[in-house]
Structure 1
């Protein structure tokens, strides 16, 4: 494909047609925890509909043999994920680090030493675009994939081929080609008995889980739509330094380039879109998107998006995100129903706006309450380690492929000003970024802002 622009793609070229829309529909509303053990019979007549019950959420993974993890991508989120992994239970180790920048390795090592007294041997610290291969081959059992998401698909494939369990930070791709690659790797992981957990934390956060459980059990009636908003300030950026090559500039400024991050609709707004996808339980037929840029001073991304998604039964949802300083900030995760509506973060309302239930958060200092909410950044690693040690394989990969693709179709619609269907996304050969990596020019990518109605589709 010609990738001279970030949004040039061919909707008509069929790619891996066996992964069709129906195969991608999420099979369970419970994501990482799976269906096993969630449906239990209620008391009463056998004709009564079974209700979804909360699965047990362990506060710590069970003890067992040492599990060694290697971190690939040692920036702030990667270092945080390494600390979260260490906090998930006993006999857990971080034994290898990989990144393209020495300063990222150095900062990560310092933080691991200062906060957990963990030292990583020099011979297990790897630098370069091939560092992920060296981490995978270093004797680890688990890999923590926390690089900019452009690289996720390649790293997931390598880890699965090496039979490693995986934590993969969200999103799992920036384009349809990458998303399909992760899905194919997930199928291989399933056959190999490997567990895969992604960084969309809400599906393992108890207050969100209990709210979703109640909605699934009918407390707001039939779902009729959703209103999903994430408005916040501008993200950080890096000004290009004279000594940086174009590749280094883009990598150090990665949250501002679509080929590396997927734009903020995919890189950050995926949390809220994933909540919506969790509730709706099906993939949209099409997206109609708007967006634009007024304030960013670097990169090629938008400041704001507004997308309507349409589903098979006529249901519609609206999703909007903005990253501009000086504006009203808010998050809305509202699921609408025939009998009321839910705030996915822990409240249910009737149709008049009265609160009819809210999550019973424990009093401050009460660490024994059954309603305690464990830090979800740690909970996802507790679930992963528990799956490894018990042999009960765990994967939320399919759900996260779906959520990632939903954000991508919204982004493309906004960039181009055209309606985009799920089938077009599934058949698209869109690939963002270079095919080979080296510090120097990045001729395949231009720092140009997409223009709706002008950008190729």
Structure 2
């Protein structure tokens, strides 16, 4: 294979924007989002993953976005260590807030005071101003950039669910906020869980240490069933309908290539450590019944060294489902979730999962939804700042790049997407009509001629 078309380990380490470090402060090992350090031999090693965050003064958190994922994030935060509190809730819908409040009371005996429960599009500002140390940002991702910006301006630590934006305008806003957060020593952890999952971390460590040669490409697939949807009720305004059906509207979710497939694309980016220079893509819709999104995508990304990767996702019931996170190398390939193969398909290493019930094994894989909060709380309490916001901004932008290529049928370059003025959604938010966002599906190209 021509070495000019391969990404060497030396070049990877030199140019990587995601290869992080782990440090020890105050006697506590702290795992960064990238979770790697180098031995004296120059090889990547993994620090110990803490079972829970170290004790310390009370950390008060506010939850912004009280749906299922937000409620789950609140529980994950409470499970990360001692002296952690959820003290404020914010959402646009009273029923969502009430449900979250009831679950916290039932499951964890946590009671949120009436005066700390906020409803409306400005509820995020009220949660931020309620005396919290940290915010959990779990609304539909359209709102994430404004919420990140406000939290950083108020000097709050941040957990932000993926993705961090739905358009280039929002990505740039997050990048600016993340840069300011670094200057303020604020901690930011994103909800792309694989970077906090030990089996994924160990597999990546082995690949980057060269156990199957140099990285030359990737094949990334996520095929699953259709997501939930809500049909419109007569009493709902345009805005309420879209918000209650948010995973089916591009301006709110970014389409499923951004909202869900970002997990797998982020794994690819974590390995490659560089951004593509061009995306070529296609997609379409066959089965969705509401909203304006596609239900399948196929994207090819081109890199500056000639390397190509393929990423495809589908959400249709009744089809063969499966996930592929294959990193191709000169001497074999990796299943990023825990196996290395030679090019004859023979397994040459697999993650040594402990037997069921073995809680003492060093290979136990902690629930990554909790582990990311352990990392965040540990960083706050040790003073060893972590901030993965830039990595997640670029992962979001790469998925947006692919979506734009599929929607338009045009090749999209990195410079084009990074500098695009594309903004999705209304500029003001009211529970009423939403202008200029018809429930129509993007169609690539132009009609053929007879």
The within-5 A match list for 1:43-442 is: 50-442=42-434
8 Å CA contact 2:16, 2:272 repeated in 1 = no
Distance change in 2, residues 1:410/1:197 (3 Å): same
Q: Which string of whole-angstrom CA distances, capped at 9 and with x for unpartnered residues, describes residues 199-249 of structure 1?
A: 000001000000000000001101111000000000000010011000000
Distance in structure 2 (CA, Å) of the matches to 1:357 and 1:37: 20
Give the whole-Å Cα distance in 2 for the aligned partners of 1:219 and 1:37.
Answer: 16
Q: Which residue of 1 aligns with 2:10?
A: none
**Displacement of 1:56 after TM fit?**
1.8
- Offset of residue 35 of structure 1: 7.2
Q: Distance in 1 between matches of 2:58 and 2:33?
A: 25
Structure 1 residues 36-61: Cα deviation after superposition (integer angstroms, max 9, x where no partner)? 9711213xxxxxxx100012211100
Is the contact made by 1:222 and 1:337 (CA closer than 8 Å) also made in structure 2? Answer: yes
- Structure with the bigger RCO (C-alpha within 8 Å, sep 6+) is 1
How far did residue 34 of structure 1 move? 5.9
SS where residue 33 of structure 1 aligns?
Answer: coil
Distance 1:62 1:327 in 2: 45
> Counterpart in 2 of 1:448?
440
Residue ranges of structure 1 left out of the alignment (5+ in a row): 1-24, 43-49
Aligned to 2:19: 29
CA shift for structure 1 position 29:
2.7
Q: Is the contact made by 1:30 and 1:278 (CA closer than 8 Å) also made in structure 2?
A: no
8 Å CA contact 1:307–1:318 kept in 2: the answer is yes
CA distance in structure 2 between the aligned counterparts of 1:108 and 1:26, rounded to whole angstroms: 40
The root-mean-square deviation of aligned C-alpha atoms, in Å, is 1.3
Aligned partners of 2:61 and 2:87 also within 8 Å: yes
Equivalent pair of 1:152/1:173 in contact (CA under 8 Å): yes
Alpha-carbon contact 1:77-1:146 (below 8 Å) kept: yes
SS at match of 2:281: strand
1:114 and 1:225 map into 2 onto residues whose CA distance is 48
- For the Cα contact (< 8 Å) 1:195–1:394, is it kept in 2? yes
Structure 1 length-normalised TM: 0.91
Structure 2 gaps of 5+ residues are: 1-14, 22-30
**Contact map agreement 2:20 2:36 (CA 8 A) in 1:** no
Is 1:40–2:27 an aligned residue pair? Answer: no
- Offset of 1:448 from its aligned partner? 0.9
Question: How far has the Cα of 1:351 moved from its partner?
Answer: 1.1
- Number of matched residues? 424
Distance, in Å, in 2 between the alignment partners of 1:217 and 1:390 is 29
Q: After TM superposition, which residue ranges in structure 1, 4 or more long, deviate above 3 angstroms?
A: 34-37
Q: Distance in 2 between matches of 1:392 and 1:444?
A: 46
Contact (CA 8 Å) 1:74, 1:97: kept in 2 or not? Answer: yes
How far apart, CA to CA, are the structure 2 residues paired with 1:128 and 1:421?
Answer: 38
Aligned position for 1:11: none
Q: Distance in 2 between matches of 1:30 and 1:294?
A: 41
Q: Give secondary structure in 1 for the equivalent of 2:227.
A: coil
Please say if residues 348 and 355 of structure 1, whose CA atoms lie closer than 8 Å, have aligned partners that are also in contact.
Answer: yes
Structure 1 pair 26–434 and aligned structure 2 pair: CA distance change class (3 A): farther
Please give the secondary structure, in 2, of the residue aligned with 1:132.
helix
Structure 2 length-normalised TM? 0.93
In 2: Cα distance, 1:220 partner to 1:270 partner? 25
Equivalent-residue separation in structure 2 for 1:275 and 1:169 (angstroms): 16
Secondary structure of the 2:222 match is strand
Task: Tell me, in whole angstroms, the C-alpha distance in 2 between the residues paired with 1:415 and 1:35.
Answer: 32
Q: Which residue of 2 aligns with 1:9?
A: none
